[in-house]
Chain A
Amino acid sequence: MGGAKLHAHHVAELVRRGDLSAYEHVCQILEKIERIEDKVRAYITLIPDIALEKAKEVDRKVEKGKRLGKLAGVVLAIKDVISTKGIPTTCGSLMLQDYIPPYDATAVERAVAEDAIIIGKTNMDEFAMGSTTENSAFGPTFNPWDLSRVPGGSSGGSAAALAAGEADISLGSDTGGSVRCPASFCGVVGLKPTYGLVSRYGLIAYANSLEQIGPLTLCVRDCALLMEVVSGHDPRDSTSIPTEPKKYQDVLEKGVEGLRIGVPEEMIGEGVDPLVAKEVWRAVDTLSELGAVCEETSLPSLEYSLAAYYVIAMSEASSNLARYDGVRYGFRAPDEGMDWSSAYSKTRRLGFGPEVRRRILLGTYALSAGYFDKYYLKAMKVRTLIKRDFDEAFKRFDVLASPTMPILPPKIGEKVADPLSMYMCDIDTVPANLAGIPSISVPCGLVDGLPVGFQAMAPPLGEELLLRVGYALESQVRLYERIPVV
């Protein structure tokens, strides 16, 4: 294939036709992993034996002429925050280092039912808290485009694995940009679905009201394909929208002619690296040339989105992470002779990393008597305002566009000492989580050999619009033909 990687939809097509052996395909990817994983460190857990077994099973199905799933032979990397039955799921934390879930997340169950082959669990910021994948108890992941730089986060391992050719397709999770940020930094496609479109059952919670499982893929068609598999109602998730999965691949070629695209000035002005802004404007121009109607707009409430986001996320996190006490599973500090409350404190002090402890403390504070109204309730009001601003904007525009990340991938270590400046990087991604709307990041260019992501947002359940815009842009940019240095 002329050096370019096979995309997942190609793999599935070839495997189904019998033109590619799933076993050989997995072997090839394992060889790639063997060669470069030391440098990239995208995975926390690899399961080559299980993957090869599953590949043989797929090949046997082909031989016997049995019906094959939509992801036949596709090698799937899963972020280590998504529960996989019998496979360690660590959340990038010492706390869950040895935790093996007894059940599969719904998204995993659905992917496996379509004959995807799980290859391993990818690295991430501990409990998905971070934008660089440096907050992992298992060490950082490195950006395949420039190994001295971060891959973004928190789904950094998923994005890096794809960019480095260590998987065909990946599942991440996006609480405030955790799919889109690493997609942007690693030059791949990432989608945060509408809140409730993909079941959260089995997704280990960081901030339940904000997050969604989302696909990371090499191209927009793969993204559409994976969404067809994992989306749709799940009775095990009460916040799941009662809707059937759509045939997302069918709309890709509809084009963008006549689509009204708004660019909120709050998302591309101050604080955005001019080189990044330039690439994004160029992408907007490309879409205009393809017939879209683009203009600048404003969503004034976005000014408060970052503050509201962090209050809500940390508040929910402080409660979600309370269950890690060492009693039922996971890490337990030596507690001989200690009463339960001292033992809990010790386990939690040693089991969680510094960023997780910081967010638990801040969230606990924000929910405390006397501060609840001032922080949590106020943040919820801001959230309502932001939703309203988006509702208004979507009366005038079909899609809103912006950079995914305001900066190029930083150097490893650059952001670690300065959490506030790391939080600031999420400025363009968190609004979609607050509003519960879908948002996609598609590569739109390179600056100094580093990928830049273009973000598009649509009204709830507007994934088809995003995929159309992404597909149109991708067809012009064709960044997927470029191979990272590793």
Chain B
Amino acid sequence: MSEKVVIGLEVHCQLTSLKTKLFCSCPSNYRGREPNTLVCPTCLGLPGSLPVLNQKALEYGLMVALALNCKIPKRTMFFRKNYFYPDMAKNFQISMFDRAGGAPLGYDGYVTLAVGGTQKLVRIRRVHLEEDPGRLVYPGTIDTAPYTLVDYNRHGVALVEVVTEPDFESPKEARAFLQKLRSILEHLGVFDGGLEGAMRCDANISIAGGARVEVKNIGSFKDVERALTFEIMRQKQLLAKKVAVVRETRHWDGERRITVSLRTKEEEYDYRYFPEPDLVPVEITEEMLDQIKARLPELPDARQKRFVSQYGLPGYDAMVLTSDKALADFFEKAVAAYGKPKVVSNWLMSDVLRCLNEYNLEIWESKLTPEHLVEMLKLIDEGVISGKIAKNILWDMVSSGKSPKQIVEERGLTRIADEEYLRKLVDEVFKENPKAVEDALSDEKAIHFLVGQLMKKTRGRADPQLANKIIREKLASK
């Protein structure tokens, strides 16, 4: 692992909070809808149709550019990116371009990233708006399908494209950036990363001594790490065998978890960009920017700082919690109802996250609610359940959505604090373990063993303090 790895990302995010498409008034919530029902002459590219810019999309795009600390041009315009592909209704995509008099919505920005305990600056090259192509549907698999179907419902949905400089040195960093970007977009309220296909990315990767390879079609955070790891391994193997790495575009096959060659540099498209004559240049005034800036919500970096100052959380906790807007929101709701921020944070960061990870769920997908978590914490405080039992029922809370009280009742998990009953059980334990009782008179360890045996009998429900007290009393009276 000595060769230096350089990675840059191009991330496409749908502005999922928009109600309509980028250049027409068709609804943009295409998921789960009957194919080709959310279409009009414009997004079908019918002859004679014209695009009209969705002003809200422009506003959202500018919010993203500002949140990524970009410089904003005074004037921008749309370009046509010309290439033939079956998912395109016009065989050109309306996008933005940074040459030939064009400018993206934002340029020269940055994002800070926590990497191995230090803050890393990731430079943002540009942010721009463009339209999403349609969706290709292959009956069966892509290799065996006898024909391809096209669903234009997605065609024309607004995308914001974020292009970074090649500032990542590992697949982990690339993944961390996507996580952060998602959190920023979600805090802006323009994006819901939980929707399938809402965030897609292409990666440029090169290893010292190799060539720049672009990997397309990466659909998730996990896949970014996998695709890049695969690609690094592939290139390193080539270099080790003294085979030249070809400058090319490769396709990530998420099923087989490999990259396959799509086209070499010689076969790259010439997009023949030129200004979109059907749209007028966009003037971005100071007033407009001031208004947007004034309305920008609290972003993850600021929220992280606030979590430290307001709740007294350690920096690391604050960072983890704010890296996911839903998690941060969950935390604040729970603290509002319960107080004790550090206790809530500990539960979230250890047991809740572990549990979610195990179920492969994100917090908003799980059935766990802040109200239920708070109820559980109160049950512990009231001595109704032990911490151990709480950890146990958490799994049920996450998967079934039942309240902790209900689970505890159904499974008979309330703590046994009945002294009479416990004394009886201790007698039994003593009878069954005479050797341990003898040892316990001189060895503290044996006392723990006896407490353990009692817990076993009660399936962990015995009040531990009371159990300890009774056992010690009985030993003392021997």
Please encode chain A, from 284 to 319, with 1 for each CB lying within 8 Å of some chain B CB and 0 for all others.
000000000000000000000000000000011011
For residue B57, give the distance in angstroms from its CB to the closest CB of chain A. 14
For residue B89, which residues in chain A have a CB less than 8 angstroms away from its CB? 323, 328
A101 and B91 contact, CB distance less than 8 A:
no
Please encode chain B, from 97 to 109, with 1 for each CB lying within 8 Å of some chain A CB and 0 for all others.
0001000000000
A133 lies within 8 A of chain B by Cβ: no
Among B44, B47, B86, B91, the residue within 8 A (CB) of A99 is: B47
Please encode chain A, from 81 to 120, with 1 for each CB lying within 8 Å of some chain B CB and 0 for all others.
0110000010100001001011101000000000000000
For residue A322, which residues in chain B have a CB less than 8 angstroms away from its CB? 82, 84, 90-92
Contacts A322-B90, A323-B89, A340-B86 known; A102 to B274 CB distance under 8 Å? no
Most buried by A among B44, B45, B48, B51: B48
For residue B270, which residues in chain A have a CB less than 8 angstroms away from its CB? 368-369
A224 lies within 8 A of chain B by Cβ: no
B80 lies within 8 A of chain A by Cβ: yes
B148 lies within 8 A of chain A by Cβ: yes
A236 and B47 contact, CB distance less than 8 A:
no
Q: Give the interface SS of chain B, mostly helix, strand, loop or mixed.
A: loop
For residue A53, give the distance in angstroms from its CB to the closest CB of chain B. 25
For residue B310, give the distance in angstroms from its CB to the closest CB of chain A. 47
For residue A316, which residues in chain B have a CB less than 8 angstroms away from its CB? 274, 277
Contacts A237-B50, A323-B47 known; A209 to B148 CB distance under 8 Å? no
For residue B273, which residues in chain A have a CB less than 8 angstroms away from its CB? 367, 372
A103 and B100 contact, CB distance less than 8 A:
no
B272 and A368 contact, CB distance less than 8 A:
yes
For residue A121, which residues in chain B have a CB less than 8 angstroms away from its CB? none
Q: Which residue of A lies closest to B278 (CB)?
A: A208
A341 and B84 contact, CB distance less than 8 A:
yes
Q: Which of A26-34, A185-193, A196-204, A420-428 contacts B (4 or more CB under 8 A)?
A: A196-204
For residue B47, which residues in chain A have a CB less than 8 angstroms away from its CB? 83, 89, 91, 96, 99, 101, 204-205, 323
For residue A91, which residues in chain B have a CB less than 8 angstroms away from its CB? 47
A239 lies within 8 A of chain B by Cβ: yes
B455 lies within 8 A of chain A by Cβ: no
Q: Give the interface SS of chain A, mostly helix, strand, loop or mixed.
A: loop
Bound complex: CA of A327 vs CA of B48, how far in Å? Answer: 17
Residues of B35-52 whose CB lies within 8 A of A? 41, 44-52
Among A102, A201, A323, A372, the residue within 8 A (CB) of B100 is: A372
Bound complex: CA of A207 vs CA of B275, how far in Å? Answer: 12
A23 lies within 8 A of chain B by Cβ: no
B53 lies within 8 A of chain A by Cβ: yes
For residue B90, which residues in chain A have a CB less than 8 angstroms away from its CB? 322-323
B48 and A205 contact, CB distance less than 8 A:
yes
B150 lies within 8 A of chain A by Cβ: yes
Q: Which residue of B lies closest to A343 (CB)?
A: B86
A376 and B86 contact, CB distance less than 8 A:
no
Bound complex: CA of A201 vs CA of B53, how far in Å? Answer: 15
For residue A236, which residues in chain B have a CB less than 8 angstroms away from its CB? 50, 52
A328 and B274 contact, CB distance less than 8 A:
no
For residue A87, give the distance in angstroms from its CB to the closest CB of chain B. 13
For residue A203, which residues in chain B have a CB less than 8 angstroms away from its CB? 48
For residue A327, which residues in chain B have a CB less than 8 angstroms away from its CB? 86, 150
Most buried by B among A203, A204, A319, A341: A319
Extra 15 A-B pairs, beta carbons < 8 Å, given A201-B50, A323-B47, A367-B273: A83-B47, A101-B46, A101-B48, A103-B46, A205-B278, A207-B277, A238-B280, A239-B279, A318-B82, A319-B274, A322-B82, A325-B84, A325-B91, A368-B270, A376-B274
Sample of 16 A–B contacts (CB below 8 Å) = A82-B48, A203-B48, A204-B48, A205-B48, A208-B278, A238-B280, A316-B277, A318-B82, A318-B272, A319-B82, A323-B47, A325-B91, A340-B148, A367-B273, A372-B100, A376-B274
Report B's interface with A, CB cutoff 8 A: 41, 44-53, 80, 82, 84, 86, 89-92, 100, 148, 150, 270, 272-274, 277-280
